[in-house]
């Protein structure tokens, strides 16, 4: 299936990029209850950036959906191993922030210092606890 056919309502992405079955399952897992991803920003160009950013957020989601604590570097390393992609760490941080936004599901992404109160190393996890 092409990315364009999956997000047929969004103009500018039907470039024939193919998406594997696993990626489609992750898209449905992350976006099944909402509209396709809506990225924005001062230099955002839908035609150039939508497929790339959608892939990034799906890879980050795939790694963090188990609810385990990880640093951005650990998420980065896991993406390389599991997806054979080298997403920049700054992009991973941006996707963690996006996942907190309502339009990306409003997920609770917990953050804590690893190594104590004076540490500058942060770790993140998806809060998988279901709230009543």
Whether 132 maps to a domain, the answer reads no
Whether 26 maps to a domain, the answer reads yes
pTM, entire model: 0.74
Specify the CATH number for the domain of residue 8.
Answer: 1.10.10.10
Whether 100 maps to a domain, the answer reads yes
| Helix 46-64, helix 72-83: angle, nearest 10 | 100
Whether 68 maps to a domain, the answer reads yes
Domain total in the chain? 1
The predicted-structure confidence for 29-48, as pLDDT tens digits, reads as follows: 555 545 667 899 999 999 99
Q: Please list the residues that pair with 70 across neighbouring strands.
A: 124
* Residue from 41, 57, 66, 37 nearest 127 by CA: 66
Whether 24 maps to a domain, the answer reads yes
| Cβ contact 90:72 at 8 Å | no
Total residues belonging to the chain: 132
Q: Which domain holds residue 80?
A: 3-126
The predicted-structure confidence for 65-124, as pLDDT tens digits, reads as follows: 999 999 999 999 999 999 999 999 999 999 999 999 988 989 999 999 999 899 999 999
Whether 131 maps to a domain, the answer reads no
């Amino acid at each position: 299936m092409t990315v364009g056919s999956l997000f047929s309502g969004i103009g500018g992405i039907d470039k024939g990029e193919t998406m594997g079955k696993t990626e489609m399952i992750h898209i449905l897992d992350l976006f099944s209850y909402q509209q396709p991803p809506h990225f924005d920003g001062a230099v955002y160009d839908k035609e150039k950036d939508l497929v790339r950013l959608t892939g990034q957020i799906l890879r980050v989601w795939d790694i963090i959906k188990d609810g385990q604590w990880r640093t951005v570097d650990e998420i980065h390393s896991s993406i390389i191993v599991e997806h054979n992609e080298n997403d920049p760490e700054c992009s991973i941080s941006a996707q963690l922030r996006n996942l907190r936004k309502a339009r990306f599901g409003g997920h609770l992404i917990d953050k804590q210092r690893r190594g104590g109160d004076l540490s500058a190393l942060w770790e993140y996890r998806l809060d998988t606890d279901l709230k009543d």
